[in-house]
Amino acid sequence: MEDFRKPFPALTSAQRLHLEVYGYVVIERTLSDDRVTTLLEKIYEIECVYRETGEYPYGIVPNAHSRTAPDYFRIDNLPHVHPCFFDYLTDPYLVGMAQEIVGTHVRLLQSDAHIIRYPKEKMQRQGYGFHAGWHPESGSTTNGLYHCPFIKTLTNLTDLGPDDGGTTVIAGSHKLAGIDRRDIIEAAVKDADKLIHQVVAPAGSTLLFFEALLHSGGICKSGKTRVFILGGYWPSMFQPHQGYEPNEESLKTVPEEYLPVLTGSRCFQLEKLTRELKTPAEKYPFDDE
Q: Tell me the domains of the chain and their CATH numbers.
A: 13-236 (2.60.120.620)
Q: What is the pLDDT of residue 286?
A: 84
Q: What is the pLDDT of residue 1?
A: 60
Q: What is the pLDDT of residue 268?
A: 85
End-to-end CA distance of the chain: 22
- pTM for the model stands at 0.95
The size of the chain, in residues, is 289
Q: Per-residue pLDDT tens, the chain, 289 aa: give them.
A: 679 999 999 999 999 999 999 999 999 999 999 999 999 999 999 999 999 999 999 999 999 999 999 999 999 999 999 999 999 999 999 999 999 999 999 999 999 999 999 876 655 556 789 999 888 888 899 999 999 999 999 999 999 999 999 999 999 999 999 999 999 999 999 999 999 999 999 999 999 999 999 999 998 999 999 999 999 999 999 999 889 999 999 999 999 999 999 999 988 888 899 999 999 999 999 865 5
Q: What is the pLDDT of residue 215?
A: 97
Q: What is the pLDDT of residue 120?
A: 63
What is the spatial distance between Cα 210 and Cα 149, in angstroms, rounded to a whole number? 8
What is the spatial distance between Cα 70 and Cα 86, in angstroms, rounded to a whole number? 27
Residue type, 196: I
Q: What is the pLDDT of residue 236?
A: 93
Q: Which residues, listed in sequence order, are joined to residue 155 by a DSSP beta bridge?
A: 206, 229
Q: What is the pLDDT of residue 36?
A: 98
Residue 114: which residues within 8 A CB-CB, separation 6 or more? Answer: 72, 73, 74, 226, 227, 228, 229, 230
Give SS3 for 289.
Answer: coil
DSSP secondary structure, 145-166, as one string:
EEE-S-EEEEEESS-B-TTB--
Residue 113: which residues within 8 A CB-CB, separation 6 or more? Answer: 39, 43, 74, 75, 78, 85, 227, 228, 229, 230
Residues 97 and 231: beta-carbon distance below 8 Å: no
